[in-house]
Amino acid sequence: MNSILKIKISTILVLVIFCFVFFSCDNSIKNGQELFYRAIKDKDTALLRFTKLEDNRFFGQYEIRYNGFQKDSGEVRGIIVGDTIKGSFYYMPYGGGVLKRYPIALLKRKKKLLLGKGVISVYMGIPSFLKGEPIDYSNPEFVFEEIKE
């Protein structure tokens, strides 16, 4: 890959990250409720912090630590409908690379959040859960418990 293309890709990546941060920091954050969750499965730990906005949207940070030293971390945002939280996880994978997007779905059960699994489709480069296919919460990858910061 030539150096001009690398510079263009790096510039676009910086602009995308800047936009996510800039547009997430609006005045409605002060009116929202901030929630903290942690999930531990074997040697992996996931941390989720998000702010619930008045119009059933949310945004925050999500981090997955693999085996205590590798991690994927980034921004999460989406909507809350009843006891279901659906959105996207925008992150830089461990070791670098390009910004990735991954759909997430959480189900609230007795003050816990269950991370669901489903069939993912990609349309125009945007991954999402396939409409019409159920999201399975019966054997969650992570079970998040609310923590106080």
Dihedral sign of CA atoms 100, 78, 58, 81 in order: negative
The SS3 call for residue 77 is strand
Amino acid at 43: K
Distance CA 34, CA 24 (A): 14
pLDDT of residue 65: 92
Distance CA 62, CA 129 (A): 19
The SS3 call for residue 56 is coil
Question: 52 falls in which pLDDT band (50, 70, 90)?
Answer: confident
pLDDT (mean) for 100-115 = 94
- Token pair 């054997």: residue: 139
